[in-house]
A = this chain, B = another copy of it.
Amino acid sequence: NTMKKHILPVTLGLFGLMSGPLLAQDATTAAADAVTYATASDISYILNTLLFLIGGFLVMWMAAGFAMLEAGLVRTKNVSMQCLKNISLFSVAGIMFWLVGYNLMYEGVDGGFMGTPLPKDIPAPGDDSGDYAAASDWFFQMVFCATTASIVSGTMAERIKFWPFIIFTTILTGILYPITGSWEWGAGWLDAKGFSDFAGSTLVHSVGGWAALAGALILGARKGKYAADGRVIPLPGSSMPLATLGTFILWLGWFGFNGASQLAMGTIEDASSISRIFANTNIAAAAGVVTVVILTQILYKRMDISMALNGALAGLVSITAEPLMPNLFQAAFIGAIGGVIVVFVVPLLDKLKIDDVVGAIPVHLIAGIWGTLIVPLTNSDATYGIQLLGVVAIGAFTFIASAAIWYGLKATIGIRVSDAEEAMGLDKVEVGVEAYPEFGQGSARL
């Protein structure tokens, strides 16, 4: 039951075990002036903070990864809109997680169901206390919140209006994500029960996935995706290299996502743990890719680049709930199953006529559930029952709350563009700037 918030006192443990230098009453004061020694707690503070900042900027970079992945997987006529949604959601997440979210997630949860929804205050540098800089912690937690919102934008692309999406994002990042987050990382009731989700297979990825699934069901599929006779019509994305770039960005950012979730770098054991997390994270992603490539070759006699990319992401999501305890064989196994999930759940969703433009539901929701449920395999502090409880509780809350919000938005301002607008593309309707004005048959001069 890792808690994201507090740095474990063990940070100073290793140092504490050593016999520190003693103050000798009869020592020469002059000698002391010549050389001062660093205290373990100061250095831990600095290194912990540095870990949050490096991890934080790597996860921030994932916002660009989602933007590129989604820009590459939607059609030309909706690319500008997808870019706009991604930079907007990252901005909204930053503001909401400051104004409401952070303290709702972390302040005074005390085994309960939520904290206190007040703006996060950053102390003046001289007044900062604790085991790391408060602002570095805020920054690191904020980019996780933003990741959750990024997941939603992909699934619902190409037909949802801008403003209802932004309103949902505001609520998701300010209220929904922080509430379920507080249950575990805020030391709430799930944490007290022993639920374990190291870096957020459930708290981040599945939460985003549940919100996306609720939205996709209420929003409906894109026009032309499912023919009257039941056939699935491929609506291929506009740019595979951008989707590939996005995936590599996400893979890179994931080292910060999982690695810095160790939350401390002041001891040998922490540094060793972070390194092990890097290795496991990479092996899981690699296993996801290799699994998808082999399976698609066997099943379809060809490969599919977008499936291979999603294989990497599913491997990454799968290992996120427990990237520390597995050995490399276990990490490879966990990631490989993520790849299997992609290969089988993508067509399954199409059978169910759930139109998930970028495959976020298999990658983030289903692989997130898988990763969370398998934690007890390698972490003896976790139990399958409690893991299932966490998956169900967080899933039920997020799905129901999201569905209620989507319904509310649908009933009031509407969430979907008209059929004519959808055919024309969101770029012309709402953005007014085409993504590729000089080429692209799906697009044309305004």
Contacts and interface: CB of A to CB of B under 8 A. Distances in A.
A19 interface: yes
Interface stretch (A103-111, A283-291, A396-404): A283-291
Interface stretch (A297-305, A379-387, A416-424): A297-305
Interface stretch (A125-133, A200-208, A223-231): A125-133
A244 B68 CA distance: 9
The 5 closest A-B pairs by CB, nearest first: A22-B27, A24-B24, A64-B248, A21-B21, A133-B275
Nearest to A166: B293
A49 B80 CA distance: 40
B119 A87 contact: no
A194 to B, nearest CB: 21
B32 A20 contact: yes
Contacts of A27: 22-25
A57 B55 CA distance: 11
A261 interface: no
A1 interface: no
Interface stretch (A71-79, A183-191, A214-222, A356-364): A71-79
B39 A133 contact: no
Contacts of A290: 88, 91-92, 95
B91 A286 contact: yes
State the number of copies, please: 3
Interface string A2-24: 00000000001011101111111
A177 interface: no
A27 B437 CA distance: 78
Contact of A38 (B39, B50, B87, B270): B39
A91 B289 contact: yes
A23 B15 contact: no
Most buried by B among A64, A81, A275, A286: A275
A273 interface: yes
Contacts of A245: 64, 67-68, 245
A27 B22 CA distance: 6
B303 A432 contact: yes
A182 interface: no
A49 B289 CA distance: 27
A436 interface: yes
B57 A95 contact: no
B126 A269 contact: yes
A272 interface: yes
A54 interface: yes
Contacts of A288: 91
Most buried by B among A75, A245, A327: A245
A326 to B, nearest CB: 10
21 contacts: A18-B39, A21-B21, A21-B32, A23-B28, A23-B31, A46-B47, A52-B275, A75-B438, A83-B241, A83-B243, A87-B312, A88-B308, A91-B288, A94-B283, A122-B279, A126-B269, A139-B282, A238-B437, A240-B436, A304-B433, A436-B439
